[in-house]
Amino acid sequence: MPYAIGGGSGIIRGYTNVAKQNNTLAGNINFTYYESPYLPIELELQKGRLTGGSITTDKYARQYENNYLAAYIHFDFQLGQVINYYYSDINELLKNVYFGAGAGFVDDNVKNQRYNLLDQGYPVGTYRFPGSDHSIDFAIPLRAGYEFKFYNEYDEPFLAVDIAYTHTYVFGEGLDGYDDPSSRFKNNNIDQYRQIGFTVRYNFGLIRAFTKRIRGTGF
């Protein structure tokens, strides 16, 4: 079955210039094209909420909330493409392990604490932390996961449930909306966020020939 539609959710956490980060949620819908049963290409639309910092506990009294929208294309490689899983229970399990990378854009919509609430060489309320409340940043997601395949009476994988870890590098300063010079605030790393989540996909379309059976005979 060469196509799939699905959706999922996960727990996300940012890694930005703000020290304290919170675990929050994101959801997604996706469309997948299978170049082969083990080489999926996926288009994903993701919506989530990243938060961090605190006006009471952060060293600089900064905090942010980013209700973002992101679009990605993912290219994944499942081990079933290259290993022989016939008559091997272990390989039958390993064939569904996958690794992947992708590219896309994150549309950041940030609300943050923009002025200094502490005396840091400036009178309170007079220094504005530079940055933007809205930006669109290029991003690269890297992920690893496992796909549980569910078969119909013809041994065709009509349904898939994925559990994956995704780490996304965002090239810009939009995730938390702060863009202070590194001479004033530590700013050594690319903004990024991670996601631990699951996705359910329904496969459809005309069956195509493959070089080996999708379901091995290990079980």
DSSP letter (8 states) at residue 119: -
For 158-161, the CB contacts below 8 A with 24+ separation are 158/1, 158/202, 158/203, 158/204, 159/200, 159/201, 159/202, 159/203, 160/4, 160/6, 160/200, 160/201, 160/203, 161/198, 161/199, 161/200, 161/201
Domains and CATH numbers, the chain: 3-204 (2.40.160.20)
| Residue-wise pLDDT tens digits, 149-203 | 998 888 888 999 999 999 999 998 899 998 877 766 666 678 999 999 999 999 9
pLDDT tens digits for range 99-157: 999 999 999 999 998 887 877 677 777 788 888 899 999 999 999 999 999 988 888 88
pLDDT in tens, 24-76: 999 999 999 999 989 999 999 999 999 999 888 887 888 999 999 999 999 99
